[in-house]
Chains A and B, each alone.
Chain A
Amino acid sequence: MRRKKGLFGRVTRELLGAIRIAKKDVKIYYLKPPVIMFGFFFPGFTYLAFTVGRSLEPTLLIPGLVAITSFFAAGSLGPAVLPLERKTKTLERLLVAPVSPFAIILGKTLAGFTYGFILSLVPLLIGAVFLRIGIASPILFILGLALSALTFSAFGILFSARAEEMPNAMMPMNVIRFPMLFVSGVFVPLATMPRYLRAIAYLMPLTYSVDALRQTVLGSLEPLMLLRDMAALSLFLILFLGAATMALRRDTR
């Protein structure tokens, strides 16, 4: 085994470990039924359920749809991966290898991110081709989408980090995911919500994702608000990664 010394060596090793775990997970899990269901069909049907027969502006709805696709797709990999790995004892293989629990969690998060990011491009392409929607700030949009997919993936990993069976991860996660969907401003603008709901909305990462993606698609950039969105998403990401790592560490206590 090659051993790179020092902090740089350690960080490189951990990052490489995470990328290798992510690559393996993408290879194994991308066609698992829950990933397909929640990553592909569910956001599409939810979108149709809320838009058919309503005169909503496509330029407002498409970024919202991109956000919820990323939310459901990236977040579904964790419950499909971790409980199964625990059951088949392959998680033990990772835990006895020279990679830290953080690298394992980061690897799984990157796998969910890959899946969430790619599937989110589907509604975007539909919007571009059929509704002639363009992206006003493509680089900021990509940045916002990447940060959203990472955060949502880590959210799914957090709920799966201790689960022995997939429903044990999926059920509590959905208890939070579904209400989050309705208060995050995807279908109902935040401005029209009662104050208490708006307060709840600002505790949800999806709210910041929807806002960031809308701003970057519409080109109605408010730098401070965009910065707030990115900072909030980053904070949620760190929080989810840290909590998931701590949860996984309990396996070795």
Chain B
Amino acid sequence: MTSAIVASELVRYYGDLLAVDHVNFEVQQGEIFGYLGPNGAGKTTTIKMLTGLLKPSEGMARVGGYDILRDIHEIKGLIGIVPEVSNVYDELTAWDNLIFAAELYDVSRSEREKRATEFLGMFDLYDRRDSKVGGFSKGMKRWLTTAMALIHRPSILFLDEPTTGLDARSAVFVRDLIRSLNDEGITVFLTTHYIEEADQLCDRVAIINEGRIVANDAPERLKSLVLGVHIVEVSFDRVNRGVVHDLEAISGCDAVVKQGDKFNLYTQEPAEVLPGLMGYAEERALRVISLNTLKPRLEDVFLKMTAPVGG
């Protein structure tokens, strides 16, 4: 398998601020690669360097086999970009936006119209093709931005937070779309805040924090980094005051996190926690509604890897 993207010791400063700090990773052709990190971690800066919007302060990278400093013009023809902000022309119609995007990438006249029709149909925008985009909803603008990124049939697609701000149905549609594009052979580089999204979609995930990559592996292998940690998830028929504090006092329980009407008890020894938990429920006359032991999630890896030092 050959590499679609190789980043080698990439560094980017904004003035004195070090935004990306000696980042190394490799994305194989045909892979969905997740780039995870908290806000301001350096995700968008990395994408900007790989797509020619910013020059690295140090280091190098290759995209589609081309050097980002020497051959950026060739790279631009190979890639499609869906930025975090939908950058469509509000004053133009959906059709004109797509045709302009195709023209920018020198798609032939006959192909332009064929593909614009195809993508408008695919994103359910065909009936609105002659409407100005200014009146479109956030979701519709997102579809159009995605269609504009695909119209020249790129072999590598960069998606910066593709589901942020979308409703649940739209987010599911985007995830299905990413899978089907990947099935067609498109390499996907995806940044996201949503850990579950990366877990469901990505072949490999890199976690970036404060400009540095702190983990880079397949999601399941990353989860093994927190393998010693077990989670006992419990819910009661009612919630008493101070329950988190009480649960933390159970022998063997390291931490408790309340998630909705459930409590997650983090422990190294579930067998030690369970009798204590049952005893607590009986003592307080609480009925246990559900009780599960969970495997570590990518979220736990993320939290562990991005936790402040000493935190």
- Known contacts A1-B107, A89-B87; decide if A24 and B100 are in contact (CB<8 Å): yes
Q: In the complex, what distance in Å separates the CA atom of A98 from the CA atom of B104? A: 7
For residue B89, CB closer than 8 A to chain A, the reply is: yes
For residue B103, CB closer than 8 A to chain A, the reply is: yes
Q: In the complex, what distance in Å separates the CA atom of A28 from the CA atom of B52? A: 26
User: Inter-chain contact count A-B, CB under 8 Å?
Assistant: 71
Contact B76 A98 (CB under 8 A): yes
Within 8 A of B (CB), among A1-37: 1-3, 13, 16-17, 20-21, 24, 27-29
- B82-106 interface mask toward A, CB cutoff 8 Å, 1 = contact, 0 = none? 0101011111100010001101111
Q: In the complex, what distance in Å separates the CA atom of A37 from the CA atom of B24? A: 52
Q: In the complex, what distance in Å separates the CA atom of A253 from the CA atom of B69? A: 11
Tell me the nearest residue of chain A to B54, going by C-beta. Answer: A252
For residue A93, CB closer than 8 A to chain B, the reply is: yes
Tell me the nearest residue of chain A to B105, going by C-beta. Answer: A1
Contact B51 A96 (CB under 8 A): yes
* Distance to closest chain B CB from A33 (angstroms): 13
* Distance to closest chain A CB from B251 (angstroms): 55
How many interface residues does B have (CB within 8 Å)?
29
For residue B73, CB closer than 8 A to chain A, the reply is: yes
Tell me the nearest residue of chain A to B153, going by C-beta. Answer: A1
Neighbour of A24 across the interface among B89, B105, B107, CB < 8 A: B89
Q: In the complex, what distance in Å separates the CA atom of A164 from the CA atom of B152? A: 30
Q: Which residues of A contact B100 (CB under 8 A)?
A: 20, 24
Contact B89 A96 (CB under 8 A): no
Contact A90 B88 (CB under 8 A): yes
For residue B108, CB closer than 8 A to chain A, the reply is: yes
Neighbour of B55 across the interface among A16, A94, A252, CB < 8 A: A252
Q: In the complex, what distance in Å separates the CA atom of A247 from the CA atom of B132? A: 31
Q: In the complex, what distance in Å separates the CA atom of A93 from the CA atom of B91? A: 16
Within 8 A of A (CB), among B39-76: 51-55, 73, 76
For residue B116, CB closer than 8 A to chain A, the reply is: no
Within 8 A of B (CB), among A66-110: 88-90, 92-100
Question: Can you show 22 pairs from A to B with CB atoms below 8 A apart?
Answer: A1-B105, A1-B106, A2-B107, A3-B106, A13-B106, A17-B104, A21-B104, A24-B89, A24-B100, A27-B92, A28-B89, A88-B87, A89-B87, A93-B104, A96-B79, A96-B81, A98-B73, A98-B76, A98-B104, A98-B105, A252-B55, A253-B55
Within 8 A of A (CB), among B121-157: 148, 152
Q: In the complex, what distance in Å separates the CA atom of A16 from the CA atom of B101? A: 13
Contact A2 B108 (CB under 8 A): yes
